Structure 1
Amino acid sequence: MDMDTHRKDLYPDVTAAGGLGPAMREAAQLRGCDTGLSPWAVEVVSIQTARGFLSVDLAAEERLFRLRVGIPGFNWEIGSTGDLGLLVEAVAAWQEDIPFDELAERFEFMELDEFLGALERGEPTPSQWAELLSSDFNRRQWNLLRRLRADEVLRNMFPTITHGAVRLCVDAMDGRSRQVLVDEVNGELFEVIRVGVPEAGWVEVPSGDLIAYLRAALNEE
């Protein structure tokens, strides 16, 4: 039996719907819940939430919808179930920011210990700083990264590299929280843009003003 035939046997509802995305949307509609899944998602399911990106994939050997939560550089598997209806209800509840203890009580298949442990330890922000500063691929940004991490406020922001610029995000779990991109023009001048702010453009910031400018931009309500 080839893989496609086996998958059809395990996931006839997914096959009939034309993909995992359509199957999840149909199941959510039947249950009157909102998963936040985009209308064009077909096979790849990734949903942005206030607590990271949720992704769903299909196990190959048995019928299991595997649920993960992730941010750049980190992924945690938070449970799996063979019940598509239960899965979409759990995704909708996650979207609604229902407390984690209530989620675990309502959805017995969810396994949140590893994920919650990382949050309680203040991870993964320190790990991400260390990862960027140990990667030769990011060598050009090392001086800027070290300078930003040395600041007692900015070191608590979650860092990533986007098209060569350093991105600082207030909340590692929420891609919609306040964030900035910082690009080094030369040792004395930087360009900064506030991501997600309407009509915001790149602003030139002298080296001596950089830390204060970033603190102000990231602390704006």
Structure 2
Amino acid sequence: MATEERLFRLGVHIPDFRWEIGATGDLGLLVEAVAAWREGLPFDVLAARFPFMDLDELAGDLARGEPAASQWSALLSTEYYRRQWDLLRRLHSDGVLRRMFPTVSHGAVRLRVEALDAAGRQVLVHQDDGGRHEVRRVGVPEDVWTEVPTGDLIAYLRAALTEECGR
């Protein structure tokens, strides 16, 4: 709900990541929109029927099961993530890592194999001001932040995010 008016916001939630796709003062219309989305109504029909919805590229990619591409684009073009751009560009340049769903939290880049699977294979990568990298596999109880030499970073991440890590 908004503070200035009766307004109901609609958002899409991926574990550890959320974005708004619209708002309306009509709760009934919002419920209809959610039901139509869940029923798989095509995006062009949703947009025409529910003009309050802002169905951007990321929402479309998510519906097609391919949200990583537009998420990479957003992170690499948003000034807010400028401090992570070097690391993001390096990770994105690898064909395997580019298919992972990226988010940034507390200065660390999270790469998730499956965007909607919060318990699935994922890593956090932090690059400090000196260019050193630390990596932690999320959800692996015994895993701790591990310093990874710059030259080994891509191979280390590939191993941690594929079946090779034996998770």
Does TM, scored on the shorter chain, surpass 0.5? Answer: yes
TM-aligned CA deviation for residue 199 of structure 1: 2.4
Structure 1 letter corresponding to 2:39: M
TM-aligned CA deviation for residue 157 of structure 1: 0.3
Q: Which runs of 5 or more structure 2 residues have no equivalent in the other structure?
A: 1-5, 19-23, 44-54
Structure 2 letter corresponding to 1:66: V
Structure 1 residues 62 and 218: CA distance shift in structure 2, 3 A: closer
TM-aligned CA deviation for residue 119 of structure 1: 4.5
Per-residue CA deviation, residues 2-41 of structure 1 (Å, 9 max, x unaligned), is xxxxx9xxxxxxxxxxxxxxxxxxxxxxxxxxxxxxxxxx
TM-aligned CA deviation for residue 78 of structure 1: 4.0
> Is 2:120 the counterpart of 1:177?
yes
- For residues 1-221 of structure 1, what are the structure 2 equivalents within 5 Å? 61=26, 63=28, 66=31, 78-79=34-35, 110-114=39-43, 118-119=61-62, 121=64, 123-185=66-128, 186-187=130-131, 189-219=132-162, 220=165, 221=167
Alpha-carbon distance in 1 for matches of 2:120, 2:41: 23
Deviates more, 1:139-148 or 1:172-181: 172-181
Given that 2:125 and 2:134 are in contact with CA atoms closer than 8 Å, whether structure 1 keeps it comes out as: yes
Larger radius of gyration: 1
Q: SS of the residue aligned with 2:153?
A: helix
**What is the RMSD computed on CA atoms of the aligned residues?**
3.5
Alpha-carbon distance in 1 for matches of 2:68, 2:123: 16
Number of paired residues? Answer: 136
Alpha-carbon distance in 1 for matches of 2:76, 2:14: 28
Per-residue CA deviation, residues 50-76 of structure 1 (Å, 9 max, x unaligned), is 9x98xxxxx754646738xxxxxxxxx
Given that 2:14 and 2:115 are in contact with CA atoms closer than 8 Å, whether structure 1 keeps it comes out as: no
Q: Which runs of 5 or more structure 1 residues have no equivalent in the other structure?
A: 1-6, 8-45, 54-58, 68-76, 81-103
Given that 1:78 and 1:112 are in contact with CA atoms closer than 8 Å, whether structure 2 keeps it comes out as: no
Alpha-carbon distance in 1 for matches of 2:14, 2:82: 32
TM-aligned CA deviation for residue 176 of structure 1: 1.8
Alpha-carbon distance in 2 for matches of 1:127, 1:180: 20
Alpha-carbon distance in 2 for matches of 1:62, 1:171: 32
Alpha-carbon distance in 2 for matches of 1:144, 1:111: 36
Alpha-carbon distance in 2 for matches of 1:62, 1:148: 42
